[in-house]
Structure 1
């Protein structure tokens, strides 16, 4: 009887789930809304119900599922699978692993969601074949996962990989949600990119393509900025180059410290593709140590929204069969 792995990527709005073979092949994937009411007390129950319903739909017994891996937003106590803090869900010192195992009657392993995405890219994505990779996710915020010799780097308090909170703007930076000023997240997340674009529009050429698109009714977004940059709009290209410089600077610091084989850039912002990757690589070449420049390569992620569930499946597989 072929066994299955259950991967879960817990988000603040939706929760992605997938049944995956032990070889990393997708059997079925789906998502459910994340119920944040009453400080998220129904999340584990809803996941258990969704899994039971899917197995019934597929006419598969739960005995075929080896276990459940879950990526959660926030730092994780990897010794017991509890969540130190997940602000968007109202959790603090939350015993997620214990509660999930009670509800679903399967062994569970919990990790930070960015770490899970890094594992997914290592197993089946842009990092395939590498055992030393760093994954940076550019979305509403900026996250990161560090894999060394095939193992997640947690740090003393589970906060390793907080790449989004590296300081890259030392003069005139803006406040970050973390309480610091000038974090990478303030200039390389989707939100930060929109802010930089707004500042450029306020002081730049009103005849720019970006301004014209906004006046025509398109809402300002990082996606629109990249579209205009690809069309050759000078103002948009200037903003994109600024973002790329900040990100390349941060990645050079990571490269100089870790010297990974691959740095993988994922998340919604990464869909911009080469228009973003080109200035990132240029900045990395400028700031990184020579041996790092030659040995560490920067790639775009290839798994998209599946990275988290695939990484979660890999982790439960390897925790059960180390």
Structure 2
């Protein structure tokens, strides 16, 4: 089967890869997040270059994932990061850039793509009912029921777990709600969470506050950092309890760089979830994502291959 080209428009960087039929990734350069649709030139050039990265230049399909609510053409709505891309025909742009027919190009939410990557080629192969929680710039979630990604009637189902209310009357979120999980646990909110927990701003050596600095400081015995992490952990426990009550999964997958830190005891976190679940609820297994950096790309590959029609092969734009 021909290769696919996949693009992960993340919260802090853009990753892209050419993926072979056996799941091998040829990674492209890591790019800065484009500030507007007019800033897609470097990504287009990188995609064309990646299209030439094999002695066999055939491409069969392409996929693009980004945070927010998506439809088959692109972004419908975003929580600040990609607002300028709402309504832009990203599917058409990717088809033009790669030289592929639009029928072989897919667009998906990044958390759904990450979950599909874990189900197809990661930590949850063979699992049919799962919930994914990604901790990073925001708090992303996705849900699979009976092997199918949950999408909903209007594309919103499963992906807005980070905007479930975990603190009534809590801090405002950029989405317009109060007390969202993301408004406390998203890395963009950590400075505010530190001030709420500690009573003063984070120290200068931790500014701008991110998860790497927070968790390293907590692991080194910084009491204030440990208290902030405890507050974030409590939010994650509440969120996962809510997701389990709503979706009854067999497994809960924890993804994102912060949740791979040695300071984060995923099994201990899940024990607290189990203690708070409804008495007859299934106690799902906690899994760590195999490779959070590649799960979105592998999920897009799996999704894009469904779009390949037998015999459809197109040279990428500019291919030799």
Q: TM-score range by the shorter chain?
A: 0.7 to 0.9
Q: 1:228-282: per-residue Cα shift (whole Å, max 9, x none)? A: 3323444433332222222111111111221112111112321334535255324
- The equivalent position to 1:82 in structure 2, one of 66, 71, 74, is 74
Q: 1:44-83: per-residue Cα shift (whole Å, max 9, x none)? A: x65443222223344432xx21100110222111xx3332
Q: Tell me the distance in 2 between the aligned counterparts of 1:175 and 1:289.
A: 29
Q: Tell me the distance in 2 between the aligned counterparts of 1:234 and 1:13.
A: 28
Q: Which of structure 1's runs of 4+ aligned residues deviate more than 6 A? A: none
- The equivalent position to 2:166 in structure 1, one of 159, 168, 176, is 168
| Contact kept? 2:61, 2:307, Cα under 8 Å | no
- The equivalent position to 2:37 in structure 1, one of 40, 61, 71, is 40
Match of 2:151 in 1: 154
- The equivalent position to 1:95 in structure 2, one of 66, 89, 95, is 89
| Contact kept? 1:138, 1:267, Cα under 8 Å | yes
Match of 2:119 in 1: 122
Shift of 1:168: 0.2
How high is the TM-score relative to the length of structure 1?
A: 0.84
Q: Tell me the distance in 1 between the aligned counterparts of 2:31 and 2:230.
A: 37
Match of 1:185 in 2: 182
Structure with greater proportional helix content: 1
Match of 1:317 in 2: 305
Q: Does 1:14 align with 2:13?
A: yes
| Contact kept? 2:129, 2:249, Cα under 8 Å | yes
Shift of 1:184: 0.3
Q: Does 1:246 align with 2:197?
A: no
| Structure 1 residues without counterparts, runs of 5 or longer | 205-210
In angstroms, what is the RMSD of aligned CA positions? 2.6
Match of 2:316 in 1: none
Shift of 1:189: 1.5
Shift of 1:135: 1.2
Q: How does 1:45-60 map to 2 (within 5 A)?
A: 46-60=42-56
How high is the TM-score relative to the length of structure 2?
A: 0.84
